[in-house]
Amino acid sequence: MTHRSYAYENGGLPHNERLEFLGDAVLGIVVTEHLYLTFPELPEGRLAKLRAAVVNSHSLADVARDLDLGDEILLGKGEQTTGGADKSSILADSLEAFLGSVLISAGRDAADRLIHHLFDPLVASAAAMGAGLDWKTSLQEFCADQSLGGPSYRITESGPDHDKRFEAVAVIGEETFEPGTGTSKKLAEQGAAENAFTTLSARLTVPQETPA
């Protein structure tokens, strides 16, 4: 959990980038193997897109936030004052370092189990998306299929320049849905699209009452 900024400010201590390199490798092979075995019907190109949707800095950062990993990272003063503990790049790298440390300290089986626990739900979520493998594309396709009209997004932002927060609301026709939030407009819109897609999809599975 030692970021290089902290290491440099404290006499050149060892930092976590070598473990990050190792964690990145084991994460990639575990997710790739899981995709290969779980989706035998999918071609290589689709598998590659699924992997990219799961193993990327935004996904890793979200997993790290769920684990409250930011509270454990040792950061230099500059990174501390600019919100480094919640920066997606730092969180993603630190999560990979954490996975690398599990591999070294507890072995491959333990690392595999942890990665499956953390990332299998993301694989399932990505597999449920449309061909574009993002929620905005999936929502766009759904709205087209159901003749609902194209979705739009209302964006608001808050916070200082170094720590912006964005909130997005999907609007379809006259209806709005639960907002999505994130550290960028893109992430907030993806969250808003996911909420709208989930709500609308659930309606299709609810049996409609027939008139007496």
Judge whether 96 is annotated as a binding position: yes
Residues annotated as part of the active site: 24, 96
Q: Nearest 5°: phi and psi at 2?
A: -95, 110
Judge whether 163 is annotated as a binding position: no
Compute the distance between CA of residue 15 and CA of residue 176 in angstroms, rounded to an integer: 46
Q: How many helices (H) and strands (E) does the chain have?
A: 9, 4
Judge whether 157 is annotated as a binding position: no
Compute the distance between CA of residue 207 and CA of residue 158 in angstroms, rounded to an integer: 41
Compute the distance between CA of residue 1 and CA of residue 11 in angstroms, rounded to an integer: 16
Compute the distance between CA of residue 58 and CA of residue 49 in angstroms, rounded to an integer: 15
Q: Which residues are annotated as a binding site?
A: 20, 93, 96
Q: Which residues are annotated as a binding site for Mg(2+)?
A: 20, 93, 96
